[in-house]
């Protein structure tokens, strides 16, 4: 990447929201080459990338964090990990000290599961991050995943751009995210936003970032991590605030001041985003690679689709299954739900299986519509989506019914116009 930047004379590199975005060594290589890294400085990335150190720093400052082991463990520290697990109690989660995006993370429900999970989690972390050090954290469930979006420049200015709720997850990946968070009361909302700003100031963070919290059933909140990058869900915040987050990243990387104060940030309406993955919900969400035979994007007012797809595009099996992001905005939460549901129903993808039916099912669920959901939603509800065979049988039944009505209409005797009912004549002139 650096060599390409040199060849093209690039002034800066934006690493996107992939693993490169949180690679401190790469950020330092860019700085050494005189090329701006559009993200936090290398030392900031290194500081917050160490999950256990960040948790300890925040906890020592008096903020609440989930109960966790005070040290990290290597693969040879089995006796120490076992003792720490017994002290914390079950259920707990084994986490990568370098991790994010749910990789290198396993939930352990009982002591009997510990050995197996401690074999799998470090192996995945080593493959993804090149580091197999782990720590343990007490599971807080059910809970709500809350992320506060912040901007911090090199001149000491920090603003928050509201929060998002991402409690609907599968395999630790957020499926649907919305803002503002329906689970928070007004006073909770204001407090958690201010705490996020205080934590950012404590850690001397610079750049765009997401301060992540878990909120339990008693409304207690716990800081979990800072994501030192732009996240997949950034369109939600952009639609709610009207602020271009990538443009803000570029200004910060160029050393410019934010140019906005907290009172300038206006949060208006509601926004939601669905992550559309190329995976098969009817086969335990196996990846669904292949060529896109049809790809029709939804449109309409306040509908945004971010995608790399097009007709003929090859969906690979080797990379993340994310195919598209569908985001919408509405004046009210109900309007936002209705708009997102219509957009998903209009989204036509042929050639690979996707999780579109799962999202439609969620949006039709009364618990979600009422905003009364948490991290246990996906476990409590069986996603009642029709199988591929059921959808085919339904479509065939509809086609047969339409064919029968058309055949019946053709075979019916035609009544002269002057003998037809006035209601019948007028009904044929009404559009639609």
Side-chain half-sphere CA neighbours of 263 within 13 A: 0
Say if residues 51 and 135 touch (Cβ distance below 8 Å): yes
Instruction: Round to whole Å and give the CA distance between 292 and 350.
Output: 6
Give the C-alpha separation, 270 to 262, whole Å: 19
Residue 174, strand partner residues:
169
What's the rounded Cα separation, in Å, for the pair 99 and 103?
Answer: 6
49: annotated active-site residue: no
Residue 328 is classified by DSSP as: E
Partnered with residue 212 across adjacent β-strands are 147, 225
Q: What are phi and psi of 290, to 5 degrees?
A: 150, -170
**Minimal CA–CA distance to 181: which of 217, 230, 147, 140?**
147
Cβ neighbours for 178, distance < 8 A, ≥ 6 positions apart: 164, 165, 236, 270, 271, 272, 273, 333, 336
| Nearest Cα to Cα of residue 356 among 295, 235, 275, 298 | 275
* CA distances from residue 296 to 272, 324, 362, 383, 419 in whole angstroms, order as listed: 20, 12, 22, 25, 46
Instruction: Note whether 128 and 19 are within 8 A (CB).
Output: yes
Six-digit token string for 331: 């004046």
CB 278 within 8 A of CB 181: no
| Among 27, 24, 86, 29, residue whose Cα is nearest residue 50 | 24
Of 164, 170, 193, 229, the catalytic one is: 229
- CA distances to 162, 268, 337 from 243, rounded to whole Å, are 12, 12, 22
CA distance 148 to 165: 9
Give bridge partners of residue 144 from the DSSP assignment.
215
Q: Which residues are catalytic?
A: 229
């Amino acid at each position: 990447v650096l060599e390409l930047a040199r060849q093209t004379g690039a002034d800066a590199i934006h690493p996107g929201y992939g693993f490169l975005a949180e690679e401190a060594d790469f950020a330092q290589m860019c700085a050494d080459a005189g090329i701006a890294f559009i993200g936090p400085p290398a030392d900031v990335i290194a500081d917050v990338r160490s999950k256990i150190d960040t948790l300890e720093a925040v906890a020592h400052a008096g903020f609440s964090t989930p109960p966790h082991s005070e040290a990290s463990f290597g693969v040879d520290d089995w006796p120490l990990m076992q003792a720490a697990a017994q002290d914390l109690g079950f259920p707990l989660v084994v986490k990568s000290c370098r991790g994010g995006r749910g990789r290198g993370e396993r939930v352990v429900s009982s002591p009997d599961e510990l050995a197996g999970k401690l074999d799998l989690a470090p192996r995945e972390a080593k493959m993804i991050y090149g580091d197999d050090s782990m720590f343990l954290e007490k599971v807080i469930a059910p809970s709500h995943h809350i992320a506060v979006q912040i901007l911090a420049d090199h001149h000491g200015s920090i603003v928050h751009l509201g929060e998002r709720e991402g409690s609907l997850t599968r395999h630790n990946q957020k499926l649907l995210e919305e803002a503002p968070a329906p689970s928070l009361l007004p006073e909770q909302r204001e407090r958690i936003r201010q705490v996020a700003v205080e934590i950012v100031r404590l850690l001397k963070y610079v750049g765009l970032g997401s301060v992540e919290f878990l909120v339990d059933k008693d409304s207690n909140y716990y800081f979990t991590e800072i994501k030192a990058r732009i996240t997949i869900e950034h369109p939600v915040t952009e639609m709610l605030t009207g602020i271009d987050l990538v443009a803000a990243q570029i200004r910060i990387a160029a050393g410019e001041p934010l140019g906005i104060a907290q009172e300038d940030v206006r949060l208006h309406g509601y926004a939601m985003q669905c992550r559309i993955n190329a995976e098969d919900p009817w086969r335990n969400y196996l990846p669904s690679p292949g060529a896109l035979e049809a790809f029709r994007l939804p449109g309409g007012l306040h509908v945004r689709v971010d995608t790399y797809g097009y007709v003929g595009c090859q969906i690979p099996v080797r990379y993340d299954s994310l195919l598209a992001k569908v985001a919408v905005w509405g004046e009210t939460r109900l309007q936002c739900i209705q708009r997102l549901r219509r957009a998903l129903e209009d989204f036509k993808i042929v050639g690979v299986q996707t999780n579109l039916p799962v999202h439609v099912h969620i949006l039709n669920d009364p618990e979600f519509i009422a905003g009364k959901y948490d991290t246990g939603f996906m476990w409590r509800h069986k996603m009642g989506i029709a199988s591929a065979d059921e959808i085919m049988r339904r479509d065939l039944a509809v086609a047969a019914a339409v064919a029968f009505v058309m055949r019946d209409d053709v075979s019916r005797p035609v009544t002269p116009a002057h003998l037809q009912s006035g209601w019948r004549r007028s009904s044929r002139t009404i559009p639609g």
